[in-house]
Structure 1
Amino acid sequence: MKDFYTVRINFKGGIASPGELKYILEAAQESQVDEVRFGLRQQLIFHLPHPFARIFEQKMLTQNITFQSDDNVYPNIISSYVAEEVFQKGNWLTEGIYKDILDLFDYDAKLKINLSDNQQSFTPYFSGHLNFIASTNPNFWYLYIRLPKTNKIFSFEKLIFSNEIPKLCKFLEEKIAGKEQQFENNIDQLFSNIPSFISLEKETELEPAKFTLPYYEGFNRYGKKSWLGIYRRNEYFKVKFLIKLCELCQETKIGEICLTPFKSLIIKGIDEVSRGKWSNLLSAFNINVRHAANELNWQVEDDSDEALLLKLDLVKTFDEQDLRTFGLCFGIKTRPRTEVYASIMVQRRRFKLFNAIPLHYVYDISYTEDFNPNGRTKKYFETSILRFNLNEQLRRSVLEYNKMIAEDAIKAAGLRDDHKEEELAKPSTKKVHQCKHCFTIYDSDFGDLLNDIPAGVPFSKLPATYTCPTCEADKKDFKVVQVKMEII
């Protein structure tokens, strides 16, 4: 039995006040907490020893700070606020607009809510239940709904005005609670019940930005100031260091600390005069801020030492082989239904003998369509990989991606010979079964190893109890579709 509580504290939009964060950290330090982590949804996470729980609770009550203990009922509102000014600039969405929206939330949301700039790819678009993405019309947002426990995205027909977002979220949460399946089969019923909000007719669908993960570490200039990104290889930040960081923010008139979905910190607005103080702080705690890019482009599920150790081993292999991973974001999941944002995913599961007896772990390597982490269509490089072979299989997956990129570039440059172009112009087709909810494909050539269905089993021979491996829809919800197989 564990001797601690797992505490989570939300910072709406990933924006932390140095004063409030310092107060929390000092209370944690007095409760024998030496290190903390940050989560994928821009939360503060740490382990609080049982004997100090009452003392910590009293300190939080004194300042009206809400926290969750061994629970995550309120999963935090996340935003791409961290990207503004430093990774994205020039459109209508400003830091002030984010803050105006976040300040209007007068309740603790149980649904996951995402606020995203449509021109950045540092934070996820569709990992929430209510996903608001900035349109090209100033102060109006696309709304994409993913009902809890499902994987299908529904697009609302109108654009929502900025200040209406909190009211709409509250309304939708009250309507959706406990009725997910009802609305999944009839989303129009939910949409038709939405009251009159300030909105615009949607003229075009969203065109998400192409994924490019910015280098988010170290000192970086923008305008006459600098921003500082801090990442920790083991995810842990020393409480003593963070308290000093908060104090330096207060001393140098920096009013906020940004938490990123990559479990790092970004401090904006460092002026030239105080930059030396920030450098001295890093030196005092031996904080390295220039890790290789192929180590930064990973997402690992929250509070999982197993997944983190696996990541570090895979990164070590990449380093040894000097592997190019530009344009990719990797994810690791060792538990089902954890929220990880990735273009190539490594997922661990139990191999089951006779579909019933759990034995050793195996791994699947999947990827999203176009290798954009915001993609919802999943395909597989390799499945049922044993641990000793995982590093090599992931390396081959990266090489296959690089080959695809190279060949697309060659094709674009018109360098293929005529015979090859003729082959490419003659795609073959095949019939497969596709889930009508999340568009997952069952192909008998590959089977479904997540459901322990080996390759070669036709769809008609699947048991009546078969369900979609992605959204758990029934077998009857699959339909026959024709897919193209292009020769590369």
Structure 2
Amino acid sequence: MRDYYTVTVNIPGGIVSVGTLQTVLSLAYEARVRQVRFGARQQLLMTVHYEDMRWLEKDFKQHGIRYETTSRFPNIISSYCGEDVFKTGAWLRESEYHTVLDQFDYQPRLKVNLSDANQSFTPFFTGNLNFITSPEPHFWYVYVRPKQTNRLFRWPELIYTNDIGRLAKAIEESMLDQEHQSEDTLYSAVTNGRSFITQPATQDVDLPEFSLPYYEGFNRYGHRSWLGLYRRDEQFSVAFLLDICTLCLATRIGELCVTPWKSVIIKGIEEKDRAKWSRVLGKHNINVRHAANELAWQTEDHTDDGTRLKHFLIRYFEKNDTRTFGLCFGVQTRPKSEVFGSILVRKRPLLQLGQLALLSVYDLYYTENFNPNSRTYHRFEKGLLKIHLPAQIDRLCRTYSSRRLRETSEALSVRSEESPVQILSVPPGHQCPHCFTLYDERYGDVLSDIPAGVSFDNLPDGYTCPTCDAPKTDFVAIALPDPAVL
């Protein structure tokens, strides 16, 4: 008998009602669970001692809470966690996400991804069924990846929002029960005797350039704020999350969002309630000022090996001031697991006796154009010892930065040749190092009632970042591009 069980509670689309989460956490606490994690597929994970497992199972069943101790039913993931707070498309909104999720009245056996095509916060192609918004309102691209393969093909048609659940179930039955794997036979099996609302898919989805937003701390959007919560060890205290649930209910916030970066986003925080949230963070000693490059990592679920390697590499980055802007990193320690990253570290045994790895080495890969949504990997180095890994990742980061600089320089050169420009004097800008918000005196700061023309030095001493509330003293001076050449 196992001493501990890993329990997974799926959170479809990464959206969980506060009341449901409070119930799950309360029952877990009664089962002596004190720490929980969130997984890369936006699910809730907890480790339960076998003596407490039967009581937790009984309580979960009484409350109608679905759970797993295996990985038979992967969670549906979605980009809803970034809705409103990050870049989103023209027509996909909260109601459309819920419309799609409500169609899944069964537990999918295939991995399902729902993605806004205009964002890069959540992955597009890590699922077996990948639904991505098209420019045509309420129609979606469908990309199918057969289980345990890296082969990806586009469905011949765009699918209407209200038919996504039905199509997903039909593809799953044809692929898993009838074992249709090729594009043509799968399409024939699914459409035989079934009709869906579709439009022709005439071209592939246009992938956005990757840019990971800063998703931690308090950030304003409109007249409200959202709060991103990240933990270095990926462990969230159950007591802290229960206090979060209590405060959400008291301030009329109905749901929380879990991200693929194993963090939590709470939307709709009113300005009058900011002090209450700060008190809860202070009570549990929660820090929300981690460096941006620390947030750009995805590790596997159910293992601490990848997390330890991540911390080892981050220490090197901090010591050597390695530039990682525009990149995200994945750490893969198991051969069949999947992580999301533009730079991928794969651990493998150099020598192995049965299940025992005597010596581990690391292979280093990067994706096509360093876009983490690409399914094409290029090997950069292989067989690295752990001590040599940080310097090689640093070298790969520099390769990426040099490529971007060269592409930018070539683009500016072309524009300069097309039309001569007048050289203007551009004042320096100042940037928040935490969320990268820019203060440009030519435009001022509308949210803080600072008119255009006020230099940074003349800002009041109490001025704070309009996005994350960092103090004025944290800002750093940067050179701004000349708008005449942009």
Q: Provide the TM-score with structure 1 as the length reference.
A: 0.82
1:8 maps to amino acid: T
Aligned mates of 2:127, 2:352 — CA distance in 1? 35
Aligned to 2:87: 88
Q: Secondary structure at the match of 1:366?
A: strand
**Is the aligned partner of 1:190 residue 2:186?**
yes
Aligned mates of 1:383, 1:309 — CA distance in 2? 20
1:119 maps to amino acid: N
1:236-251 alignment runs, 5 A limit: 236-251=235-250
2:151 maps to amino acid: K
Q: Secondary structure at the match of 1:171?
A: helix
Aligned to 1:10: 10
1:187 maps to amino acid: E
- 1:60, distance to aligned residue in structure 2 (A): 0.7
- 1:5, distance to aligned residue in structure 2 (A): 0.3
- 1:155, distance to aligned residue in structure 2 (A): 0.4
Aligned mates of 2:91, 2:329 — CA distance in 1? 31
1:364 maps to amino acid: D
Aligned to 2:43: 43
Q: Secondary structure at the match of 1:68?
A: coil
Q: In the superposition, relative to structure 1, how do residues 66 and 189 fare at CA in structure 2: closer, same or farther (>3 Å)?
A: same
Q: Secondary structure at the match of 2:271?
A: coil
Aligned mates of 1:45, 1:356 — CA distance in 2? 26
Deviations 1:419-442 (A, max 9, x none): xxxxxxxxxxxxxxxxxxxxxxxx
- 1:58, distance to aligned residue in structure 2 (A): 1.2
Deviations 1:50-98 (A, max 9, x none): 00111101111111111001x1111110000111100024510001110
Aligned mates of 1:49, 1:20 — CA distance in 2? 23
Aligned mates of 1:27, 1:48 — CA distance in 2? 11
Aligned to 1:443: none
Q: In the superposition, relative to structure 1, how do residues 89 and 126 fare at CA in structure 2: closer, same or farther (>3 Å)?
A: closer
Deviations 1:189-244 (A, max 9, x none): 11122231011112332101111100000111111100000000000000000000
Aligned mates of 2:187, 2:342 — CA distance in 1? 31
Aligned to 1:483: none
- 1:279, distance to aligned residue in structure 2 (A): 1.0
Aligned mates of 2:365, 2:329 — CA distance in 1? 10
Aligned to 2:411: 412
Aligned mates of 2:187, 2:87 — CA distance in 1? 32
- 1:397, distance to aligned residue in structure 2 (A): 1.3
Structure 2 contact 89–116 (Cα < 8 Å) conserved: no
- 1:105, distance to aligned residue in structure 2 (A): 0.9
Aligned mates of 1:321, 1:309 — CA distance in 2? 19
Aligned mates of 1:377, 1:355 — CA distance in 2? 31
- 1:410, distance to aligned residue in structure 2 (A): 2.4
Q: In the superposition, relative to structure 1, how do residues 67 and 262 fare at CA in structure 2: closer, same or farther (>3 Å)?
A: same
Aligned to 2:284: 285
Q: In the superposition, relative to structure 1, how do residues 93 and 406 fare at CA in structure 2: closer, same or farther (>3 Å)?
A: same
Q: Identity, % of aligned pairs?
A: 47
Structure 2 contact 34–237 (Cα < 8 Å) conserved: yes
Aligned to 1:218: 217
Aligned mates of 2:330, 2:319 — CA distance in 1? 20
Aligned mates of 1:356, 1:336 — CA distance in 2? 13
- 1:17, distance to aligned residue in structure 2 (A): 0.9
1:356-371 alignment runs, 5 A limit: 359-371=358-370
1:190 maps to amino acid: L
Q: Secondary structure at the match of 1:253?
A: coil
Aligned mates of 2:16, 2:321 — CA distance in 1? 37
Q: In the superposition, relative to structure 1, how do residues 142 and 277 fare at CA in structure 2: closer, same or farther (>3 Å)?
A: same
Q: In the superposition, relative to structure 1, how do residues 36 and 357 fare at CA in structure 2: closer, same or farther (>3 Å)?
A: closer
1:133 maps to amino acid: I
2:45 maps to amino acid: I
Aligned mates of 1:43, 1:315 — CA distance in 2? 25
- 1:411, distance to aligned residue in structure 2 (A): 2.5
In the alignment of these two chains, the number of paired residues is 411
Aligned to 1:98: 97
Q: In the superposition, relative to structure 1, how do residues 313 and 94 fare at CA in structure 2: closer, same or farther (>3 Å)?
A: same
Aligned mates of 2:333, 2:144 — CA distance in 1? 26
1:53-92 alignment runs, 5 A limit: 53-69=53-69, 71-89=70-88, 91-92=90-91
- 1:352, distance to aligned residue in structure 2 (A): 4.0
1:6 maps to amino acid: T
Aligned mates of 1:268, 1:309 — CA distance in 2? 31
Q: Which runs of 5+ in 2 are unaligned?
A: 415-486
1:105-124 alignment runs, 5 A limit: 105-124=104-123
- 1:357, distance to aligned residue in structure 2 (A): 10
Aligned mates of 1:299, 1:205 — CA distance in 2? 27
Structure 2 contact 89–117 (Cα < 8 Å) conserved: no
Q: In the superposition, relative to structure 1, how do residues 73 and 354 fare at CA in structure 2: closer, same or farther (>3 Å)?
A: closer
Structure 2 contact 88–116 (Cα < 8 Å) conserved: no
Q: Which runs of 5+ in 1 are unaligned?
A: 416-488
Aligned to 1:302: 301
2:90 maps to amino acid: N
Q: Provide the TM-score with structure 2 as the length reference.
A: 0.82
2:104 maps to amino acid: F
Aligned to 2:22: 22
Deviations 1:163-185 (A, max 9, x none): 100111111111111555x52xx
Q: Secondary structure at the match of 1:273?
A: helix
Aligned mates of 2:352, 2:12 — CA distance in 1? 45
Structure 2 contact 11–42 (Cα < 8 Å) conserved: yes
Give the superposed CA RMSD. Answer: 1.8
Aligned mates of 1:114, 1:328 — CA distance in 2? 22
Aligned to 1:394: 393
- 1:393, distance to aligned residue in structure 2 (A): 1.3
- 1:353, distance to aligned residue in structure 2 (A): 8.1
Aligned mates of 1:127, 1:41 — CA distance in 2? 9
Q: Secondary structure at the match of 2:350?
A: strand
- 1:401, distance to aligned residue in structure 2 (A): 1.3
Aligned to 2:461: none
